[in-house]
Structure 1
Amino acid sequence: MPKPQQAFFEGHVHALSVLGGVPRGKVRYDNLKAAVAQVLGFSRQRTEPERWIAFRSHWGIESFYCRPGIEGAHEKGGVEGQIGYFRRNHFVPVPEVVATLAELNEMVDRWDLEDEGRRIRSRPRTIGEYFAVEQPQLKPLPVEPFETGRWFTPRVDRYGQITVRTNRYSVPVRLIGKTLRVLLHASELVVFDDGREVARHERLSTQGGSRLVLDHYLEALVRKPGAFPGATALEQARSAGRFTPVHDDWWDAARAAHGDKEGTKALIEVLLLARHMSHEHVVAGLAVALRAGALTADAVALEARKIADGDLPDQPMPSPPPEPAAAGPTRATVTFLADWRLSHLPPDTRPLPSVAAYDQLLRRRGGSAPSKGEAT
């Protein structure tokens, strides 16, 4: 099933779920390839793909197709007009503050909800009020879900990757040589091994691309740390913001203290901590350990657990002084527990220590040796 058809199906599932039911009358469609395999003359008869027939039969959708060309232009003007209104009001200019497609979809849902309070021209009710009247007329949603994704069974190659639709995706290296099941959706794919999810990736829209997760290769890299600096998965982790400048700084210090091999192995052990702790806690633990000069994975784990357990001061902690602007990635801002604790210690009123009492030992040692009688 091509990606446009998967997106077409998933859009239907989301829309019907939001509506809370299925329209009882005919649903009007343009002659898109996801639903129409062939237009039969100038009539409304269409040859539909088998997958689309199964999908709309499951949901109880009765399709109605517009006439092609100019003859059918007037049959979908209202829908295209509302789409144009939504585009002009929410996508002009194009949003640039989202990091993922899922985040953009959440914004669209929020805009759609806000649009329920809008009135169309001089109509007496809002869009939401009209829909509240119509919603009870919808048919109930089917009980059983319809799987919109497509299943594949690729084999994991020696690089710990599977190939789906000409693109390569990483899986844990322990699965090399195994045949896995992959469920491909329009925007993501999920990898299963014996019914257990072992990987999840955002689907690539290009051809011949690769999406690699650094965590999938850590068991192999800890045995061959020399391959770590040039790993493609490391570069992708940097680009995605998962491997931060704090990681790089701690890694540089660890290599300077322990050598390239042992310092890199220590960093990989730190990265393995993210399987049991949140990424944010590990990064904060790295920063604290770096400031204290603790360049071992155990020290990072200890500091990360302190932060995860809420071992933080009750009062607001001061922010560190801003670093000078420099080209390249922005460094993370971290508040260090050691600095806070030192600045909040009570004043020490004890007298300074004195060694005067020990001067008698020096005088005794510098004097004459005791006589035999004195010794007795």
Structure 2
Amino acid sequence: MIDLINKQEILLMYFREGKSQRSIAREVGVDRKTVSSYIKDYESKLEKLIEQHGSVEKGELIQSIVEKPKYQCLNRTKRVLTEEIEERIHYFLRENELKRQRGLHKQTKKIIDIHEALDQEGHNVSYTTVRNKVNEIARKAKEAYIKGSYNPGGVCEFDWGEVKVVINGKRRTLQLAVFTSAFGNYRMAYLFTKQKTECFQEAHALFFDHVGGVFQSMVYDNMKVAVKKFVGTEKEPTEALLKLSIYYMFQFRFCNVQSGNEKGHVERSVEVIRRKAFAFRDTFETLEEANQYLLEVCHKLNRKQVKQKENKTAEELLNIEKKSLLPIRPTFDAARINHLRVDKYSTVMIDQSRYSVPDHLVGEMVKVKVYSTKIQCFYQEENVAEHHRLTGCHEWSLQLEHYVRTLKKKPGALADSAALQQATKKIKNIYDNYYTNNPRDFVDLIQFIKDGTNLDQIEQSINELRKINTLHVTTDKIKVLCEKKQELLHHLPLLSKESLDIQHYAEENLRKYDELFQTQRIGNKEAIA
């Protein structure tokens, strides 16, 4: 196909360089008849231009001389677009729309797939013809957007976005929950580790608490935490959304499939908040620190004046909206509840990670409340375990005190246990310094802690025993000393009422302690001080 630059070369070679049409055709790489056609067309139009005396618009003639080559397609054989083929094209497009409504937009047919399907059905039609027809149908289907008008407190939009940040030295992808009021464009956002039910509910609870009320209507797209399934063109809400709606009494509606313009405020807000916050800083020590930083950015955005709203800020407009908000209620208990059986490792599995419970519950069913940042386990309505929620997959959260019953039977398993490795630094130091050769005694100490003894009291007792000799650091002696301290604290209020000398009472107790352990240092004034 000849383009404008080829036309220019042909004409210059012939009229300026005097080359023959045959040699021009050979050099340019086109048919000699084509070269002859362009030369004759140019000569004819130029002759008409010279002969014109104003009766014909010269501009149009000049343009026809210098325009790109045109091709006469009237004599070409066409592949007919029959009514049957058109109907099949419409069928495939309707099929695509139904798939989008069911959330299968990645499994729709592209134009090349429609052409392939038609070819397999035996229809003789070109890809270009199919493409032109599909584009024609698409142009007819384009819709006009209607600008919305919103009342104060009437509508709030919600959406998720992704943010890539560094938390405690590790690159993480976090979920950004964004709320935007339609009337005043007030924006607020929260970071979560996942787009789970409990995170979805907690975000709403945090937002409603923050603004001090509830918007009358919430708008969502077709996110999984809000839409359970499609029933034809209708969308069935999830239980999580229904619970929020029932508790806070707000109405809700969903956007049409692939119609982000129907909640344009929040679509824009996700991009704005993500850029204004994390384009400037993306490294934090903890998730809590990242959320605090995000809160400060949102406050800054909400204090900017809005020209379209008479230079009022989003905060000022929110104050206007508060008069029309539904009344706030106590913070919603945003927890996903599971009933799970305790496995042989005395753990329950949540989102592919395991959390320990007391080992006497192996084989029993427990109720687990899954929050965005913590896990609570209940057996017969008693809270038997609580963990910080893990954010990865195939991770274990084990608490040493949950395995006391088993370790009493198998104390040799303590040293290499994952539960000991996950224990606090203080517990591991006590084991490494005093109990490596006496694991059974250490298990008794963990039982003592489990029964309610404060770890700080145990450390104080260990320090006092260590001053005598490290060999004195045993669980039995720690228990005696802790119990004596508790007894002293228990009697102090009574002794005060009886006007007894507290210092004398303390010395007497410490003297008895000396007699018990056959020591000489504890009872002196230096030890008391």
Which TM-score tier does this pair reach, normalised by the shorter chain? 0.5 to 0.7
Q: TM-score, normalised by structure 2?
A: 0.47
Partner of 2:462: 286
Matches within 5 A, 1:83-122: 83-88=274-279, 92-96=281-285, 98=286, 101=287, 103-104=288-289, 107=292, 111-112=295-296, 115=299, 119-121=303-305
TM-fit CA distance, 1:227: 1.3
Structure 1 residue matching 2:344: 3-state secondary structure:
coil
How do residues 298-309 of structure 1 correspond to structure 2 at under 5 angstroms?
298-304=476-482
Residue 147 of structure 1 deviates from its aligned partner by 5.4
Q: Which letter maps to 1:205?
A: T
Name the CA distance, whole Å, in 2 between partners of 1:220 and 1:120: 61
1:124/1:235 CA distance change after superposition, 3 Å: same
Q: Alignment partner for residue 398 of structure 2, among 195, 205, 212?
A: 212
CA–CA separation in structure 1 for the residues paired with 2:302 and 2:259: 32
Please give the secondary structure, in 1, of the residue aligned with 2:196: helix
Change (3 A) 1:344 1:106: farther
The structure in which a higher percent of residues are helix is 2
Say if 2:325 is the partner of 1:138.
Answer: yes
* CA displacement, residues 129-156 of structure 1 (integer Å, 9 cap, x when unaligned): 554443232101357x765433333222
Distance 1:39 1:139 in 2: 30
Which letter does structure 1 place at the counterpart of 2:337? W
Give the whole-Å Cα distance in 2 for the aligned partners of 1:49 and 1:303: 60
Residue equivalent to 1:57: 245
- The 5 A counterparts of 1:14-29 are 14-24=206-216, 26-29=217-220
- Equivalences for residues 196-345 of structure 1 within 5 A: 196-237=382-423, 240-241=424-425, 243-252=427-436, 260=437, 263-275=438-450, 276-293=452-469, 294-304=472-482, 342=526
Deviation at 1:126, TM superposition (A): 6.6
Can you list the C-alpha shifts for 1:115-134, whole angstroms capped at 9, x where unaligned? 37973158977765554443
Distance in 1 separating the partners of 2:244 and 2:453: 44
Give TM-score, length-normalised by structure 1.
0.63
Comparing 172-181 with 114-123, which one deviates more in the overlay? 114-123
Structure 1: distance between partners of 2:311 and 2:195: 41
For residues 251 and 125 of structure 1, do their structure 2 counterparts lie closer, same or farther at Cα, with a shift above 3 Å needed? farther
Asked whether the equivalents of residues 117 and 128 of structure 1 are also in contact (C-alpha less than 8 Å), the reply is no
Seen in structure 2, the aligned counterparts of structure 1 residues 157 and 73 have a Cα distance that, compared at 3 Å, is closer
Aligned counterpart for 1:167 among listed residues 348, 353, 357 = 353
- Tell me if structure 1 keeps the 8 A contact 2:305–2:311: no
For residue 223 of structure 2, what is the aligned residue in structure 1?
Answer: 32
Deviation readout 1:262-318 (Å, 9 max, x if unpaired): x2222222222323123333334333333332221133235556777789xxxxxxx
Instruction: Give the drift of 1:74.
Output: 5.0
Q: Secondary structure at the match of 1:186?
A: coil
Q: Structure 2 vs 1, CA of residues 67 and 74 (structure 1 numbering), >3 Å: closer, same or farther?
A: farther
Amino acid at match of 2:417: A
* Contact 2:228 2:238 (8 Å CA) reproduced: no
Q: Which has the larger radius of gyration?
A: 2
Alignment partner of 1:191 is 2:377: yes
Check 1:159–1:36 CA distance in 2 against 1; reply closer, same or farther (3 A cut): closer
1:12 to 197, 204, 225: 204
Query: Cα offset for 1:216?
Result: 0.5
The answer to whether structure 1 residue 157 and structure 2 residue 321 are counterparts is no
Aligned 8 A contact 2:303 2:315 in 1: no
Residue 127 to residue 38, structure 1, CA distance change in 2 (3 Å): same
Shift in Å, 1:212:
1.1
Higher strand proportion, which one? 2
Change (3 A) 1:139 1:113: farther
C-alpha separation between the residues in 2 aligned to 1:127 and 1:302?
Answer: 63
**Separation of aligned partners in 2, 1:279 and 1:85:** 45
Separation (CA, whole Å) in 2 of partners of 1:38 and 1:158: 36
Residues 80 and 63 of structure 1: is their aligned pair in 2 closer, same or farther, counting only changes over 3 Å? farther
Q: Which amino acid aligns with 1:54?
A: L
In 2, Cα distance between equivalents of 1:140 and 1:235: 49
Question: 5+ residue gaps in structure 1?
Answer: 253-259, 312-336, 346-376
Describe the SS at the equivalent of 1:243. helix
Identity %, equivalent residues: 22
C-alpha distance 206-296 of structure 1, shift in aligned 2 (>3 A): same
Deviations 1:208-265 (A, max 9, x none): 332211000112212322111111111111xx5353424421224xxxxxxx3xx222
Whole-Å separation in 1 of the counterparts to 2:485 and 2:276: 48
